Amino acid sequence: MFVKRFLILAPFLLLLVLLQSYFWVPSYEEQTRGNPGRLEEFITASIGDASLLNPILSADSASSDIQGKVFEGLIDLDENLDYRGRLARSWDISEQAFFYVRPEKPVPEQGAMSPDALLNFLREQVEKSGDYPQPLQESLENIAALSLDSPDKYQASLSLAGQDDPQVFQVEPPDRIVLDLLEVDPELFENLTLLLGEAYFQEFPAFRHVRSESDLDPGQLKAAASKLLPGYEHNPVIVFHLRDQVRFHDGHLFDAQDVKFTYESIVNPRNLSPRVSDYEPVKAVHVLDDLTVKIVYKRLYSPALMTWSIGILPEHLLNRQALDREAESRGKDPDDFFMRDSRFNRSPVGCGPFQFETWESDQYIRLDSFAEYWDGEPNYASYAYRIVPDLLTQEMEFYAGTLDAYSVQPHQVERLKTDPRFQSFSGTSFGYTYIGYNSRREPFDDSRVRRALSLALDVDRIIKYVLYGQGERITGPFVKQTEYYNQDIKPLPYDPEKALQLLARAGWTRNSQGWLEKDGRILQFTLITNTGNDIRKSILAIVQDFWRRIGIKVSTDTLEWSVFIQERVNKLDFDALVLGWNMGIEPDLYQIWHSSQADPHELNFVGFDDPKADALIVDIRQEYDKERQIEACHRLHEIIAREQPYTFLYVSKWTALLDKRIVIKDLDADGEVVYKKIRPTKTGDYSFYFNKWVKRPTVPDFAAE
């Protein structure tokens, strides 16, 4: 009987042994025994590996996590969401604007005016005080200087619609008035019409000053001339004053040339940077001296300052000469060797708090603290970013202490957030999860089909049973906690009958087998997502079932993260996908939603294309008045919610755990060491002071309270 029972139990005992073996990892105490350095090492985990460690080339979250520690930007946001200097110690924002003189347009009560006469007239108005309506008076008081400029002739090339080769133009600009402003004034020219008349800034005859070297019809010439020679222009200016004696990890001093080089690398088409749209509004970057850089914009661009939070590259390691040397050392043709080909992307050098040490693909990335970091060496001596695709393995390793942080899964929240061993942090995510449709492909090029697909899904069911209630419905592309999100737009209801009606209008009707069919073709496609995310995997199964219920034949597939991003998303090779965005608080959505950003390696990979949305996206990034910006965001939200390029699923609630022994180590006013609790910022960022974190052998008294 004993033998029989043993034989019956043997497979289960073997399975138990295998499970114990699979999940066994050395505990924190075992790691630290004889190895006190473990206290100085922070280890975290990710389900997917980084793609490449270059802040101007990558767009995935894993790469961003590492880059944020290796590289430093000119500025960022502090714990109160105010701008603070990083590599820049300070900055000045002003504007230089101009408009072309039009002697043929008489000025009210003044008549036709020559360039010199107009300049003197404007100077007289600036010297007056309180004689005009308040908006005009404020604009005049904001003018620091006025001058007359006679621009040189120049040659320009421009690509025209329907023509393969750029056209060459000779441009002879007329005299112009240059206005140096103390602050950016978006209403400047609108207010100056009170002085110069409504017609002065309208329909500037640019075509009279532009000559084509090809035979163009008048309409083409006018269109080209208006782009080459706008009648007036806002040129916001940022002057950054950089910190002295900041060093890259190889010891080379950081200076203004590195800032200019980073900009030039982003806009270089050879590099295929997904950040181009953030820097396209830049007109010029001028190095005034080693520690001063001047950024001039060619139009109003309200998110300008925040774009300079991007990590700054070391010019001496990535300039053309350096790339040529690397190409030759590797036996490659320098003419075909560019930044994306460089080893730098796997062994980066920045001037952030941690320096790169090693990267074992699909295993781990290790960083060491940088002793010469300008803001003080981090308390942790090293930072390890392990690739652990299985969430259950992550959980087991966190309990054992071999991982120092763990992102709690929805079904674990209630159990773990009150566990006395851990300190927990929670909040609503700055982002959302969605199903994106490749609108370049049928049937997703029809908004009725996209809307029907959304109506056929019971998203509340996903939130209830997959997220265990740890999520909220979302209807559009803005962060839900901000004023830019349009709260008046309600989520689409679960309505499969209405979905079928919309599909019928689009020509899709059920065949004898119950599948939707049009012109002899069954409505079928593949829905994909990345491996290592059980929630997204569950969403695949639920969505597939809901769509099959109404007659859509859906296949599903999961791919390893790097393959998913590099081979499918970046190459636009998909039907539909489940993915998510982590968002910032700025409402600039140009990279993700503008139609110009829909090429391979760009972020509008679903190919959304709507002229009204494009116009609003541009308006939003040029608007400095917050109320008007919010209004434009709400209108954009309406369009995107109506067109449904995504099925917006939910914004998740998150809970993260840390061992209670991890605290902030700081100095008090007397220079004595003190330990403080880790507290999140306004945005819920609990790692804001990561450089001051340290793991203690025991929990400090305050943490035990």
- Are residues 583 and 666 both part of a single domain? no
> Per-residue pLDDT for 16 more than 50?
no
What confidence score (pLDDT) does residue 702 get?
67
Instruction: Give domain status of residue 248, yes or no.
Output: no
Please identify which residue in the block is written with the tokens 């300190």.
423
Helix axes 391-400, 2-23, angle to 10 degrees: 80
Q: Residue 500 and residue 521: Cα distance in Å, rounded?
A: 17
Radius of gyration of the chain (CA): 29
Residue 548 clears pLDDT 60, i.e. is over it: yes
Q: What is the mean pLDDT of residues 445-449?
A: 97
Model confidence over 259-301: pLDDT tens digits? 999 999 999 999 999 899 899 999 999 999 999 999 999 999 9
pLDDT tens digits for range 114-137: 999 999 999 999 988 677 899 999
**pLDDT reported for residue 244:** 97
pLDDT of residue 703: 44
> Between vectors from CA 550 to CA 569 and to CA 454, what angle results, nearest 5°?
45
Give Dmax (Cα) for the chain: 116
**Averaged confidence pLDDT in the chain:** 90
Q: Does 608 lie in the same domain as 469? A: yes
The domain that holds 409 is classified in CATH as 3.40.190.10
| CA pseudo-torsion sign 213, 214, 216, 221 | negative
336 lies in a domain? no
Dihedral (C-alpha) 129, 133, 134, 138: value to the nearest 10 degrees?
-60
**269: nearest Cα among 413, 135, 159:** 159
Measured N-to-C along each axis, helices 626-643 and 611-622 cross at an angle, to the nearest 10 degrees, of 160
In this prediction, residue 12 has a pLDDT band, given cuts at 50, 70 and 90, of very low
Task: Return the pLDDT at 88.
Answer: 98
Is there a domain that residue 344 lies in? no
689 and 585: one domain? Answer: no
| 642 and 517 fall within a common domain | yes
Does residue 9 register a pLDDT over 60? Answer: no
Residue 10 has pLDDT above 50, yes or no: no
For 210, the token pair is 């532009």
pLDDT digits (tens, 9 = 90+) for 429-439: 888 999 999 99
Last residue of a domain, one of 212, 236, 260: 236
What pLDDT does residue 35 have? Answer: 55
CA angle at 209 for the pair 203 and 210, rounded to the nearest 5°:
105
d(CA 357, CA 66): 12
Whether 533 and 592 map to the same domain: the answer is yes
Q: How far from 164 is each of 160, 280, 583, CA to CA, in Å?
A: 8, 22, 37
459 domain-assigned: yes
pLDDT at 21: 36
Nearest of 64, 179, 195, 227 to residue 125 by alpha carbon: 195
Average pLDDT over residues 205-231: 88
Which pLDDT value is given to residue 37?
72
Q: Is residue 184 part of a domain?
A: yes
Domain shared by 583 and 597, yes or no: yes
> Residue 678 and residue 402: Cα distance in Å, rounded?
20
Give me the residues paired with residue 145 across strands.
180
- Could you tell me how many residues make up the chain? 705
Q: Identify the pLDDT of residue 24.
A: 40
Identify the three-state secondary structure at position 653: strand
Q: Are residues 557 and 684 in the same domain?
A: no
Question: Does the pLDDT at position 550 exceed 80?
Answer: yes
Q: How far is CA 194 from CA 107, 108, 188, in A?
A: 10, 9, 11
Query: Residue 22: its pLDDT value, please?
Result: 37
- Quote the pLDDT of residue 246: 98
C-alpha triplet 377, 378, 381: angle, nearest 5°? 100
Alpha-carbon span 503 to 498, nearest angstrom: 9
Q: Is residue 518 part of a domain?
A: yes
- From the list 101, 276, 255, 96, the residue with the least C-alpha distance to 188 is 96
Q: pTM of this prediction? A: 0.80
Q: What is the CATH number of the domain that holds 473?
A: 3.10.105.10
Q: Where is average pLDDT lowest: 217-221, 543-547, 558-562, 647-651?
A: 217-221
| Strand ranges (E), 322-445 | 354-360, 364-369, 382-387, 405-407, 422-428, 431-437
- Is the per-residue pLDDT at 661 higher than 80? yes
Q: What pLDDT is recorded for position 3?
A: 37
Q: Is residue 340 part of a domain?
A: no
Banded pLDDT at 618 (limits 50, 70, 90): very high
Same domain, yes or no: 582 and 698: no
Burial of 61 from C-beta contacts in 10 A (0-12 / 13-18 / 19+)? middle
Q: Which residues contact 478 (CB under 8 A, 6 or more apart)?
A: 484, 485, 486, 583, 587, 589, 633, 637
Task: Report whether 28 contacts 38 (CB < 8 A).
Answer: yes
What span, in angstroms and rounded, lies between the C-alpha atoms of 198 and 421? 70
**End position of a domain, from candidates 236, 265, 290:** 236
The highest-confidence range among 16-30, 511-525, 674-688, by mean pLDDT, is: 511-525
Region of 469 please: left (phi>0), alpha (psi -120 to 50) or beta.
left
Domain count, the chain: 3
Sheet containing strand 364-369, strands side by side: 41-46, 382-387, 364-369, 354-360
Percent residues over pLDDT 90 in the chain: 75
How high is the pLDDT of residue 698?
Answer: 87
For residue 6, pLDDT over 70 is answered with: no
Other CB atoms within a 10 A radius of the CB of residue 322 amount to: 16
Which of 172, 201, 236 is at the close of a domain? 236
Question: Does residue 241 form part of some domain?
Answer: no
pLDDT of residue 129: 65
Q: In this structure, are 417 and 377 located in the same domain?
A: yes
Section 144-152 average pLDDT: 95
Domain co-membership, 559 together with 689: no
* Digit-coded pLDDT (tens) for 334-378: 999 999 999 999 999 999 999 999 999 999 999 999 999 999 999
Report, as an integer, the average pLDDT of 30-58.
82
Shared-domain flag, residues 153 and 34: no
- Cβ count within 10 A of residue 171: 17
The burial class, CB within 10 Å (0-12 / 13-18 / 19+), for 444 is: buried
Domain span at 367 = 25-68+352-428+655-704
191-195, 216-220, 319-323, 699-703: segment of lowest average pLDDT: 699-703
Helix (H, G, I), strand (E, B) or coil at 312: coil
Q: What is the pLDDT of residue 59?
A: 80
Residue 580 sits in the same domain as residue 540: yes
Alpha-carbon distance 451 to 648, whole Å? 11
